[in-house]
């Protein structure tokens, strides 16, 4: 089974970008999961809020899964000020890549991650779970990539880090009025 792992602001899915749900061969994923589980078993509560204090960003989090076409869901445009956590990835603070997606702009105006392009290396991102426990992440870098060249493996693939990715739209607009790039913010647990 294959799924497309993309992010976007109302863009059409790109059938050329398909990866296995684990982003690796099943036997490698099982082996790697077993070593992670036996080395550090943990149960983390689901995330409830994300904040980037240096940019004045604060949002509750909705859960996002996959659309029927295999693309990653994005928050609905009418909830543009709410970011979403992709439940197919890690829980923020656990080993693996946790992914939070938010709009830059919608037809209703500026959205939750409108100022995300201003984030700097070293900035703090705080994710608070439903129990009220906060995990602090430090930004390690950013990149703006064309949606047709989205680094799926780098964003969603397995990692031994306790990693966080924030994703929003970026760049110029195509003929249909959709941004052609995604801005990806990379961070690790502080």
What CATH number does the domain containing 184 carry? 2.40.260.10
Q: Does any domain span residue 184?
A: yes
Q: Distance (Å, rounded) from C-alpha 161 to C-alpha 140? A: 12
Along the 190 residues of the chain, how does pLDDT read in single tens digits? Answer: 333 444 445 433 333 333 223 333 223 334 434 433 344 456 789 999 999 999 999 999 999 999 999 889 999 999 999 999 999 999 999 999 999 999 999 989 999 999 999 999 999 999 999 999 999 999 999 999 999 899 999 999 999 999 999 999 998 888 888 889 999 999 999 9
171 occurs within a structural domain: yes
Residue that has been written with the tokens 């779970």 in this structure: 129
Q: Which domain holds residue 122?
A: 26-189
Q: Is residue 11 assigned to a domain? A: no
pLDDT of residue 87: 97
Instruction: State pTM to two decimals.
Output: 0.80
């Amino acid at each position: 089974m294959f799924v497309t792992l993309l992010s976007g602001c109302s863009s059409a899915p790109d059938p050329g970008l398909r990866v296995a749900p684990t982003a690796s061969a099943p036997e490698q994923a099982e082996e790697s999961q077993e070593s992670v589980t036996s080395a550090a078993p943990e149960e983390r509560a689901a995330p409830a809020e994300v904040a980037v204090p240096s940019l004045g960003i604060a949002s509750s989090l909705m859960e996002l899964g996959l659309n029927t076409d295999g693309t990653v869901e994005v928050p609905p445009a009418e909830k543009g000020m709410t970011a979403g956590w992709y439940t197919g990835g890690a829980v923020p603070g656990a080993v693996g890549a946790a992914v939070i997606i938010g709009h830059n702009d919608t037809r209703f105006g500026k959205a939750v991650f409108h100022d995300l392009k201003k984030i700097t290396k070293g900035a703090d991102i705080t994710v608070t779970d439903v129990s009220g426990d906060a995990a602090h992440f430090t930004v390690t870098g950013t990149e703006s990539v064309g949606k047709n060249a989205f680094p799926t493996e780098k964003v969603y693939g397995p990692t031994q880090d306790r990693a966080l990715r924030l994703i929003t739209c970026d760049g110029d607009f195509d003929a249909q009025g959709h941004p052609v790039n995604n801005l990806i913010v990379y961070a690790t647990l502080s």
